Amino acid sequence: MSERKFAQGLIRPGSAALMRETVSQAVRESEVMTKPKQVEPLDYETFVLKNRNVLEGDSDRDMLVFPNDDIQLKKMPRRFRTTKSTVPPSDNVSGLFVRECLKSYSSNWSVLHWKYEPYSGSYAQLPRSDIPEELIPQVYEVDIEHDAKEDESALKRTMSRTVTKAGYLYLTPDRQQESGRINISVKSMKKRFFYLKQQVDTSYVLEYHKDDKKLEAKGIIYLDSLVDVVKNPKRGKFAFELRMQERALTLSADSEQDADSWMTILRRVLEVERRVSTAVSYSSFEENIPSAGRSESLHESLRQSRNPELQKYACETERSIREARQEGRQRLYKLYRHEMQKNERLEDEEEPKVDFYGERFGMRLLIKCEDLTFRLLVSLPHGDKHTVCQVEPYFTTLALYDIREECKISEDFHFDINDPRVRDMIPKDIQMAPEMLNANGKMDRSQPDIGSLDEEWLQFRNQALFSVMRPHPEIYLVVRIEKVLHGSLTQSMEPYVNKNNDTRLGLKVHRQMSGVCQRLGHYRMPLAWAARPLLKPFTQEIDTYSEFTTIYRQDQATLTDADLIKYLGYLKQKRVDKLSKLQSIPGSIQLTIEPLTPNLPNCLTPSLVPVRPFPEPPTNPVTYEVQEFLPESTSSYPYTSYMNNLYVYPLHLKYDTQKSFTKARNIACVIEFRDSDSPDATPLKCIYGRPGMPAFVRTASAAVLHHCTAPPMYEEVKVALPLQLHERHHILFRFYHVSCESPKASIKKRENVETAVGYAWIPIVKNGVVTVDEQNIFVAQDLPPGYLTSDPQGFGKGYAGPIIKWIDNTKALLRVYLRLVSTVYTKDVHLQKFFAHCEKMDPAAEAIDNSETCNVLKKADLKTLVDRAVNTGEFQRQLANCVKVLHAVEIGTFTKFLLPVLNQLFRLLAMDVNEDVAQNVIRLLIHVVHGIHATGKADILHAYVKYVFITTTGSITGKTIHEELARNLTVALRPANADLILINNLLGHSAFFFDIIIKSMAQHLMGSDRMKLPRTERFPTDFQFRVQTLVQAIVQHIISKYKENGTETHSANVGLANFIKRCFTFMDRNFVLKLVNLYMEKFSPGGSKVLYEYKFEFLRIVCAYEHYVALNLPMVRPNAIRNIKEFYHEFTLSDDFRKHHFLSGLLLVELKYAMREYRDTRKLAIGVLRNQLAKHAFDDRYASRRQQSKVVSLYLPFLGIVLENVNRLILQQPPQMTSSHSSAIFANGDVSSVVDLSHISMPSTPQRGSMVLDPMNRSSTLPNLGKEQVLLSHVGAGSLSNMTNASSLSNVSDRSSASSTSTLQEKDVGEMGDSLKNQINHQRSPSGVQLSQVIRYDKLNRDEVRDLLICFLYILENISAELLLGWWQNCTETELLNFFKLLELCLENFRYPGKKSLFMRQ
């Protein structure tokens, strides 16, 4: 369907819109749009070397020469929260991964200390000793007047507090009193309303107003010179006279009563004044008494006044006034600092403090288990009396469960709250029978070292420290209760639920259980459980209620954690229908829950290592830290201490179908940890013991279910793994049938209690990786020697293992879950395989590095070396594949083992690897860094760079990490060698790699003493070329990808700027300045706003260098200046100035060109300069006036830039063009002001005397431009008033167009061009600008004006007199007038207008 004609008309732009678009496009494509001329920096190193004596001999040497103590490499000792290091000796450890982990947990921190780093940020980050936080509040008269006019009642209330008397009186006019007339009638006197007031200095005044409603006083009569108050009937019936020292004043009242009242109060005032004058010592005012016959001047009369303010005024002189004005005076930028922070977002936000790596905990709770009480009790003798206690011993366990995640989030804490009389029911030999059975009489070296801890002090514990990383109301505290094995659950529960409260029943059960404990004391059975929420449901505060009110009987069919979590969900939902099926037991459990108090004494880690503070001998009961189990999806942090524990959970044994053991009903599962399958091997003593047992035992057993052939189990066995694991380490499960009934014979033999019914085992290490997670394993009928070599799934060719009979036709009958909590072993196959390949590269490297070639051939196997050399290509290919597959490793695993992984990857770059391996390492590093950033843990990367990273040098190749990073990062940025995602991630996290390069450079220089060499010899030329190439590649990607990848390019821009800033400390400074030039030349004028932001942000960061002043070589002025013309180049942006003061010149040039851009761009440039000057003002290193003078000498050309734009600072409309054609062009109001051609004069040649000379455009003269270009350049001088972004069309300025619009007539263009040409040779430009620098009338907004003026005032405040005089001598008359016009503008802009004006402005 064709479009309607009306709609087509709406879409078609009008002639005015077409004109605006054409003019804008023509201006933007103009040839005059040239970027600033690039000037090569001065050879800094050569200049400093030649002028060393001048710089060293200067009085301000510290600000001209780089300090020698700029950076230091420090080794900071590692601090542990435990009393000793948890890292065991690693002399005999063979695995590279384990060695690297132990090394990363015990090494000291390596820190680069930048002494002057506090001065490398913005002005807000400087040491704040001299920066007041708040200015003293001031009260201004304009505010007082405004408040008085707006709130007269408040003023009247204020006056009432100081007014002694008020009323109407008649006042004799002054002219009549001077004439001495006697017969003055009341009608000739003026009726005024009088106030008698007491001032602050206790003196009195009479203040009279026109009436009582007028607040403005008509006059004031000071009563400090009052002599007497008398009646004067000659002047009136109710008249009285005030006799002063100099004259008399007549007043009159309306009535005699009023007159008497006034006279009485005035005489009282006179008495007060006389008493005050009498109290004053005569000597204090003797010198102020005028001599007789001497005429009193104004100052003399003021000295005689009793008003202290008047006396102070009389003593003032010009000098005293000038000195008083300087007292307590704030510096310029201190007064402006609050406005700067109010109007802008600080670019340099303070970086978060990077802390050391340390163990992280969540909400920590101290739980004390106080008491467990059932209704079934017994009275037992205790000394001389009987007391009530439990009928039998209980085994209690405490743990945390998360029903939201449906998992257990803490290990079991076994505590003992049994009465000692009940605890002794189990004989010690019965309890320790498994230990004594497996002891071989030899010293057991497998037991972990517990130091000087007392075993008896550790045995009975009842308080623990829990940690919850992610607290929420769905976390439950669960207590499991077990008892000594005795028949079925139903039979054992009957006495507890019996409603008859008969003490004889308790005694009967106690006696019965005493016999059972003598026989089966080391076997347990489940009894009950209880649960309660850890936190309150809505506030998430700790629920300190200390009692479990409901204890549920343990059901044999619901023993597992999954069943328990299901019932916890019923508790949360209050499902009465489900909970009613559970049988409750009368009783209660008492716990104390409280937040952790600081410095809890006598606390042990989950590995039984004492935590500070730990007084010895212990002064408090032992407190155990309970290990928290975090889900894999939970964010993790790097490991920082040694821990190596394995948790074994036998879950289920399916014996209901087996036929091998017919009596296997009451099945006990015994767990052992062994390191051999030989016949004489014994279990290792590395299992954490329960209460009442030693700290470490050899065996642990699960609870036994009576007459259950397929028992579910919930036991948790905690094993302390050896540091060095091998293929023969395994977990052995022994299964016994336990006879619960007592034998008929009188002698109770052990063989009547236990009968072996099966064996199972799990190797801990398979293919170099620790076995974890859930597994189903086979059960054997017997346990022959060498059982680890058996293969349950078939005997292949060459099988030499023992013949084993498997139960139930080789079915996996046992289900087991293994949980590894280790900081030296990983369950990830790819990570373990990578370190195994890297380990193969170490022996050859160490041999070649530590001995000579002949010794290598003697000590090393020649055939091995030859084979390795032949298979180098294959080995490199395998190594590259190992690095590639590491992309499949979870970021959480990389985070946990961040220190050893990053150390190995960076070390691999310096080894003898090919380019394929190096590039894969770079890609993996980018992947890891990006993944960690994505989880919100950028701080751990900053901490790694600051504290952990240590550079290495290849022992064979001599490669360094910084050189290889610079080379391979450049290769990774090539579009042909990397995908877009990789490049974007590298750009986004380039700051991390730049920081690594910087630290590697510093450590390399300090470690090899190359820091003492000249900067030109510290690094090879090849490295400088690599850095230059890397910078070029980064800049190219920033400019080309800023639209699509704004976040990544911004991060790359900031990282690159900080990298270049840090290179000033180590590298050839001339080379680094060229890198800055290389960056700047990539940007063109008229670009995107984002690119302008990048450019000025780069300048801001680089110019924030702590030795910026010394880097810019401020003028070393002679003592006496004879010819100021020799320093003319210091006053303008000449090539010589930019060459010697490179960074300051670059900043000023960019500001000069930014003044022709849009408002946002202008504000960026002005803000950078303003903040830079503010930093100089606040820098305590340059506090003296002489130092500040040298600093501002770097910015003298700024005065010319301000003069060039002085017309844009004045808020008034310029003269308008009267041409009919131009009126037609801009009839739509797009240009609010256009240059009047009669007021514009352009010189044909640059003027040397002008301070606003633009040497970059000297070749741009008017005769070379066409007629259309002349008009367009002047059209560009206007400003757009209706821009949606509130910014002017500043790009139009200085940009002539090569094309014209069809609406302009050739005749008009020619006339306007000729009129300009006629003026060129007759007038001199006050600003020295040429055609490409047309005076602009697009006004700057208030913030821009104030920022420019504050910079202008700062330079004037600190410039030396001779420099200011020299600058004036090179100014034209017009520039001098503009200079004073700027001063007037400063007064106008910084004058305080009052609160009302500020409010209206907002």
Q: Looking at the predicted structure, is the pLDDT value of residue 260 above 60?
A: yes
C-alpha span between 1175 and 1192 (Å, rounded)? 12
Give per-residue pLDDT as tens, 208-220: 888 888 778 888 8
Give per-residue pLDDT as tens, 268-324: 888 877 776 665 433 343 444 444 333 345 556 666 666 666 666 667 666 677 777
Q: Looking at the predicted structure, is the pLDDT value of residue 475 above 80?
A: yes
Give the side-chain half-sphere CA count within 13 A for 1243.
Answer: 18
What share of residues in the chain are helix, strand, coil (percent, to 5)?
A: 45, 15, 40
What share of the chain has pLDDT > 70, as a percent? 76
Q: Which residues pair with 761 in a beta bridge?
A: 732
Mean pLDDT value of segment 1310-1318: 38
Mean pLDDT value of segment 890-896: 93
What burial class does residue 1078 get, using C-beta atoms within 10 Å of its C-beta: 0-12 exposed, 13-18 middle, 19+ buried?
Answer: middle
Q: Which residues pair with 111 in a beta bridge?
A: 74
Instruction: Give the residue, 300 or 789, on which the prediction is more confident.
Output: 789
Mean pLDDT value of segment 419-446: 81
Instruction: Give the residue, 432 or 1037, on which the prediction is more confident.
Output: 1037
User: Longest C-alpha distance within the chain, in Å?
Assistant: 150
DSSP string over 1124-1170: GGGGGGGTTT-HHHHHHSHHHHHHHHHHHHHTTS-HHHHHHHHHHHH
DSSP string over 872-886: HHHHHHHHHHHHHHG
What burial class does residue 713 get, using C-beta atoms within 10 Å of its C-beta: 0-12 exposed, 13-18 middle, 19+ buried?
Answer: buried
Give per-residue pLDDT as tens, 87-98: 988 777 888 999
Alpha-carbon separation of residue 825 from 82, 726, 821, 835, 899 (angstroms): 22, 12, 9, 12, 14
Q: Looking at the predicted structure, is the pLDDT value of residue 1300 above 50?
A: no
Give per-residue pLDDT as tens, 993-1015: 999 999 999 999 999 999 999 99
Cβ atoms of 191 and 170 closer than 8 Å: yes
Give per-residue pLDDT as tens, 698-749: 999 999 999 898 999 999 999 999 999 999 999 999 999 998 876 654 444 4
For 8-90, strand residue ranges (E) read 71-76
Q: What one-letter code names the amino acid at 888?
A: A
pLDDT at residue 1271, rounded to an integer: 28
pLDDT at residue 219, rounded to an integer: 87
Q: Looking at the predicted structure, is the pLDDT value of residue 198 above 60?
A: yes
Give the pLDDT band of residue 23 (cuts 50, 70, 90).
low
Instruction: Give the residue, 71 or 752, on which the prediction is more confident.
Output: 71
Q: What is the mean pLDDT of the chain?
A: 80
Give per-residue pLDDT as tens, 1185-1195: 899 999 999 99
Mean pLDDT value of segment 857-864: 43
Report the range of poorest mean pLDDT among 17-31, 790-804, 933-947.
Answer: 17-31
C-alpha span between 1072 and 1228 (Å, rounded)? 51
Mean pLDDT value of segment 219-226: 85
Give the side-chain half-sphere CA count within 13 A for 295.
Answer: 2
Q: Which residues pair with 190 in a beta bridge?
A: 171
DSSP string over 698-760: SEEEPPP-TTBSS-B----EEEE--SS--TT-EEEEEEEEE--SPPSSSS--GGGTEEEEEEE
Residue 783 makes CB contacts below 8 A (sequence gap 6+) with 732, 759
Cα of 557 vs its chain's centroid, Å: 53
For 557-698, strand residue ranges (E) read 584-585, 587-595, 603-604, 610-611, 623-625, 644-653, 667-674, 687-688, 696-697
Cα pseudo-dihedral 1318, 1324, 1328, 1329, rounded to 10: -20
Q: What is the DSSP letter of 780?
A: B
pLDDT at residue 1365, rounded to an integer: 86
Mean pLDDT value of segment 1060-1074: 96
Tokens of 1289: 């069309």
pLDDT at residue 913, rounded to an integer: 85
Give the pLDDT band of residue 1080 (cuts 50, 70, 90).
very high
- Number of Cβ within 10 Å of residue 518's Cβ equals 14
Instruction: Give the residue, 1393 or 1288, on which the prediction is more confident.
Output: 1393
Give the sheet arrangement for strand 696-697, strand by strand: 696-697, 687-688, 717-720, 644-653, 812-822, 773-778
Q: At what angle do helices 1069-1080 and 1046-1066 cross, to 10 degrees?
A: 160
pLDDT at residue 744, rounded to an integer: 54
Q: Looking at the predicted structure, is the pLDDT value of residue 921 above 90?
A: yes
Name the residue among 1257, 1333, 1337, 1264 with its Cα closest to residue 1298.
Answer: 1264
Q: Looking at the predicted structure, is the pLDDT value of residue 1335 above 50?
A: no
Give the pLDDT band of residue 1391 (cuts 50, 70, 90).
confident
DSSP string over 388-424: EEESS-EEEEEEEEETTTTEE-B--EEE----HHHHT
Give per-residue pLDDT as tens, 1234-1279: 333 333 333 333 343 445 444 444 333 333 333 333 322 332 333 3
Tokens of 757: 């019914």
Give per-residue pLDDT as tens, 897-910: 999 999 999 999 99
Q: Looking at the predicted structure, is the pLDDT value of residue 1154 above 70?
A: yes
Q: Looking at the predicted structure, is the pLDDT value of residue 807 above 80?
A: yes
Q: Looking at the predicted structure, is the pLDDT value of residue 1163 above 70?
A: yes
Name the residue among 921, 941, 949 with its Cα closest to residue 1051.
Answer: 941
Instruction: Give the residue, 313 or 1175, on which the prediction is more confident.
Output: 1175
pLDDT at residue 859, rounded to an integer: 40
Give the pLDDT band of residue 1067 (cuts 50, 70, 90).
very high
Residue 475 makes CB contacts below 8 A (sequence gap 6+) with 400, 401, 402, 403, 409, 468, 533, 534, 535
Could you identify the residue written with the tokens 């009195």?
Answer: 204
Instruction: Give the residue, 1078 or 1298, on which the prediction is more confident.
Output: 1078
Question: Parallel, antiparallel, or unpaired: how do β-strands 109-114 and 765-766 relate?
Answer: unpaired
pLDDT at residue 237, rounded to an integer: 85
pLDDT at residue 300, rounded to an integer: 64
Instruction: Give the residue, 323 or 968, on which the prediction is more confident.
Output: 968
Give per-residue pLDDT as tens, 569-583: 999 998 888 888 899
Tokens of 1161: 């761009």
Mean pLDDT value of segment 353-372: 89
pLDDT at residue 1077, rounded to an integer: 94
Mean pLDDT value of segment 49-75: 89
